[in-house]
Amino acid sequence: MRGCCLPIVVAFGLLPGFLSAQIAPTTSGSSRPITSISTPPAAVSSSGFSGGASAPSGYILSPNDQVGVEVFGEEDLRTNGRLNPEGNLSVPLLGSIHLAGLTLTQVASRLTELYGRDYLVNPKINVVLLSYAKRRFSILGQVARPGSYEMPESNPGGIDLLEAVAMAGGYTRIAAPERITVRRQKTSGDQIFKVNAKRFTKGSGGGFLVEPGDTITVGESIF
């Protein structure tokens, strides 16, 4: 009799340990199998637009700049396009909106105001610069290749005068770097700068900044 009961005692002694490896208590006090699934979060870009230009802080939009506009949660309102020659962009529901002269932050604030006024409650809007308008300067006179040149994409707002000269092939043999004239068009009238580039050293940071639309004329040496 004692021998036949021993296996039963051993079996019951092992049972709690066996169960503790298979089940765990829930907050309700019952027990159920545990399943653990680890799913890494998906990568989410800051903007739904691929590519894009790296706009410097405070960059001001001008005609022919390409921008993208997205309204979070409103896929139908997402758009991208170039500002027309008047500086306007066609935006869903709002029509043609003048954006030239504004920073990206100001554009987002402007569109938030317009969408929130008549169409959306607390809209969240992101505006990105997708590509710059082509910005050019002209260089004439005593350089190897006079003509019109595009600003580098890395410096769309302006380049050093010596870099502009280098893009045009450098000075000619009879050039006078101390007699350079830069004409700059402004709404209030043209500005004329007399520049002595002989004093400049490339990369020193002490040169003259050439802006889009400038016309540079390199003078000729007087013998």
Domain ranges of the chain: 66-131, 136-220
**DSSP secondary structure of 143-182:** BSS-EEEEPPTT-TT-EEHHHHHHHTT-B-TTEEEEEEEE
Query: Which amino acid is it at 104?
Result: L
CATH topology of domain 136-220: Outer membrane lipoprotein wza fold like (3.10.560)
What span, in angstroms and rounded, lies between the C-alpha atoms of 23 and 133?
A: 65
Query: 217 forms bridges with which residues in the sheet?
Result: 140, 181
- Tens digit of pLDDT at every position of the chain (223 positions): 444 444 444 443 444 443 343 434 444 443 333 333 332 333 333 556 666 667 777 888 988 899 999 999 999 999 999 999 899 999 999 999 999 999 999 999 999 999 999 999 999 999 999 988 888 899 999 999 999 998 887 776 789 999 999 999 999 999 999 999 999 987 778 899 999 998 886 655 567 999 988 999 999 998 6
Question: What is the Cα–Cα distance from 159 to 61, expressed in whole angstroms?
Answer: 18
Which fold does the domain 66-131 belong to in CATH?
wza like fold (3.30.1950)
Q: What is the pLDDT of residue 152?
A: 84
List, for residues 45-62, the tens digit of each pLDDT value.
355 666 666 777 788 898
pLDDT tens digits for 148-185? 998 887 776 789 999 999 999 999 999 999 999 999 98
What pLDDT is stored for residue 22 in this prediction? 41
